[in-house]
Amino acid sequence: MKKNNVKIRGKFRIYLSLPLILTVPLVIFNLFIFTEDIKGGLCFFAFVVTYFVIMLFGYLRSRSVVSTELVNFAAQYATVQKQLLNEFEIPYALLDYNTRFLWVNEAFTTITGKDKNYHKSVTSVFPSLTKEMLQRYEAVASVNLEHEKRYYRVSMKRLYFGSLEQQSGEEPAQREEEYLTAVYLFDETELKHYMQENEEQRLVAGLVYIDNYEEVLNSIEDVKRSLLVALVDRKVNKYFAGVDGLVRKIEKDKYFVVFKNKYLKQLSADHFSILEDVKTIKVGNELTITLSMGIGVGGVSYAQNYEYARASIDLALGRGGDQTVVREGEDIVYYGGAVKQVERNTRVKARVKAHALREIIESREHVVIMGHSISDVDCLGTAIGVYSAARVLGKKAQIVINEVTTSLRPLIDCFTPEKGYPADLFIKSEEAIMITNKNTLVMVVDVNRPSYTECPELLKLSDTICVFDHHRQTSEVIENPVLSYVEPYASSTSEMIAEVLQYFSENIKLEPAEADCIYAGILIDTNNFMTKTGVRTFEAAAYLRRAGAEVTRVRKMLRNDMGAYKARAEAVRHAQVYRNAFAISVCPADNLESPTVVGAQAANELLNIVGIKASFVLTEYQGKIYVSSRSIDEINVQLIMERLGGGGHLNVAGAQLTNCSVLQAKHTIEETLDEMIKAGDIAQ
């Protein structure tokens, strides 16, 4: 007969020994009885001895019986537990350290088709559960995976075994090959389905504006106007009816739309074809009708989605119209906007902005004007125009310029104290920060991105900010300006300020130097009236000419030195043609005071080569790679530069790249062109 090696331990052993332990207090009590009554003490002592002998006999006799019963119970319990685990509704598997199957239950077998005899790696069943992943988790982990068109949440837990250490009183070991991994599969297919359905059923808010409503109506006969409007209404309603959308006309040229989120991908896939479809409407109108759309999605409420839509439509209009802007939370996606925006011949907006600017300047004692970093001629010309407006109202105005480049020095030399201008007309950022307070008007010109301004800190110091710019807006905008005048169709900001000055005051009079400076800004940004030039551009130039601008004098001030001319020629000479349509070159920056200006001039020169659709000139300056891009009419370089984090216009754009070399920047441009050509964003 084998000896029973089962040892009774723990609380159960104490429970069995309790009758024997009670003998100790009985003996102590017997001693007290002896002090009072010896005869009674002897009788009680006999009782204690008898009690101890009986309890000891019972303990020794029952211990083996109890051990046997415990073993039988444990065996039955283990069998029941194993059966319950095997029939457990949740799929369960046990893996060794090398992620091989040791045991699986029936539910796991039903899902995977692998039974208890399958001992290969779990990766053979679930490829995403790699050995490296399972060994990386130290305690409990959870991952999601798809298996046979169903979605599971996989919960994994390590089971350490350290029996030898526990017997010696040590903590369980947690070393390699001394643990198992328990894997539970939770089927979340239905949950995912309902979550996706809930997401798809959420409403998306949208605003649709006709960009050039008044201009188009004025270009056709009166009897055809109602037909034109009816055709636009029909196309808009039909387009959104195809996605079960609701359309309501809120103004003569504005629509509010609502549709389910599940259709947004469908609309995005065809790039909101309504933008192109509406252009086919022809009832005698000379101008093509264009739409702008703002879509808001991802908000916590319908009201927030509407606010997203409002912000999106403002951004679409600020980028020139004829496009759709979709905002989902903080993410913004653009569609369309690849054609030239329609020039507006009306000056109503310029007159309204002029009166608003006058009221704002009158309410402030001090005006600080700043443009973008490394200011150019257009930036300076606009700043001088704002200074002239403030001077007429008797307000002190100062211009923030940190670096005077060679292109600006001839113009700035015209505004010295000897010529009647304040000595502190031009200041640096440090001084501007000291004099700016909540009551100072901060006038931002020729830029609408806060990070590109000459001194971004000024935007936080003042409550009154005005923005004048002609660049297309991006998702990064100056927050809460009291006046924002952003017109992407304008050739330059100098053109815009020239228009505003005509309505600003009846007695405003520009000095010849001021007219020269504003005229120079138009001249540079239009490349001598060859780029982005419209009727209003020449009207602004005519106004400046009447105000005293002299073409010959401006041309002399804008001449380059020999070093800059050679650098520009060098950039053109070493240009490489990519895909037989794109000229890419590097402008040398050595010994140049304004290499970025020279790079922009070289980009313009490259467009004079036959077959070149767009040019890109890279200039390394002050730890950054400046990219100047130009095109004539076939390529929208603004979309290309936005991929690089920049922006601009359809034909004139740029970007600033950091943490890369010139060669890496060149490869980035080539890869971007390849991606856009493949996606159909650029036609070849």
- Tens digit of each residue's pLDDT (9 = 90 or more) over 105-161: 888 888 888 888 888 888 888 888 887 777 776 555 788 888 888 888 888 888 776
Q: Are 382 and 500 in contact (CB under 8 A)?
A: no
Please write the tens of the pLDDT for every residue from 333-358: 888 766 555 555 556 778 888 999 99
Residue 174 in this model has a pLDDT that exceeds 60 = no
- pLDDT category at 197 given cuts 50, 70, 90 is confident
Give first-to-last CA distance, the chain, whole Å. 94
Q: Are 614 and 600 in contact (CB under 8 A)?
A: no
- Nearest C-alpha neighbor of 625 from the set 661, 585, 590: 661
- pLDDT category at 6 given cuts 50, 70, 90 is low
Question: Per mean pLDDT, which range of 252-256, 545-549, 642-646 is the poorest?
Answer: 642-646
Query: Average pLDDT of the chain?
Result: 84
Kindly state the percentage of the chain with pLDDT values over 70: 89
Q: Is the pLDDT higher at 24 or at 294?
A: 294
- Nearest C-alpha neighbor of 481 from the set 433, 510, 448, 455: 448
Kindly state the percentage of the chain with pLDDT values over 90: 38
Q: Give the helix/strand (H/E) hosting 61.
A: helix 38-86
For residue 671, with 0-12 CB atoms within 10 Å meaning exposed, 13-18 middle and 19 or more buried, which class applies?
Answer: exposed
Degrees, nearest 5: CA angle 624-626-631: 165
Q: From the CB of residue 78, how many other CB atoms can be counted at a distance below 10 Å?
A: 10
Please write the tens of the pLDDT for every residue from 379-428: 999 999 999 999 999 999 999 999 888 888 899 999 999 999 999 999 99
Per 3-state DSSP, the chain is made up of helix, strand and coil in percentages (nearest 5) of 45, 20, 35
3-state class of 77 per DSSP? helix
Dihedral sign, CA of 648, 650, 654, 657?
positive
Residue 500 in this model has a pLDDT that exceeds 90 = yes
Pairing of strands 254-260, 624-631: unpaired
Q: Is the pLDDT higher at 11 or at 526?
A: 526
Residue 571 corresponds to which tokens in the numbers above?
Answer: 């950039």
3-state class of 186 per DSSP? strand
What pTM, to 2 d.p., does this model score?
0.62
Residue 53 in this model has a pLDDT that exceeds 90 = no
pLDDT at 381: 95
Query: Dihedral through CA 99, CA 101, CA 107, CA 111, nearest 10?
Result: 70
pLDDT at 164: 35
Residue 282 in this model has a pLDDT that exceeds 50 = yes
pLDDT at 3: 47
pLDDT at 680: 79
Place of tokens 């599969």: 185
3-state class of 115 per DSSP? coil
Q: Is the pLDDT higher at 608 or at 14?
A: 608
Please write the tens of the pLDDT for every residue from 228-274: 999 999 999 999 999 999 999 999 999 999 999 999 999 988 889 99
Q: How far lies 450's CA from each of 372, 401, 480, 547, in Å?
A: 9, 16, 12, 33
pLDDT at 163: 40
Q: What is the DSSP letter of 272?
A: -
Side by side, the strands of the sheet bearing 179-187 are: 101-104, 92-95, 179-187, 150-160, 140-147
pLDDT at 529: 86
- Nearest C-alpha neighbor of 558 from the set 522, 511, 605, 534: 522
Measured distance CA(375)–CA(146) in Å, rounded: 55
Instruction: Tell which phi-psi region holds residue 636, choosing left (phi > 0), alpha (psi between -120 and 50) or beta.
Output: beta
Residues 6+ apart with CB under 8 A from 105: 85, 86, 87, 88, 91, 92, 93
Instruction: Tell which phi-psi region holds residue 474, choosing left (phi > 0), alpha (psi between -120 and 50) or beta.
Output: beta
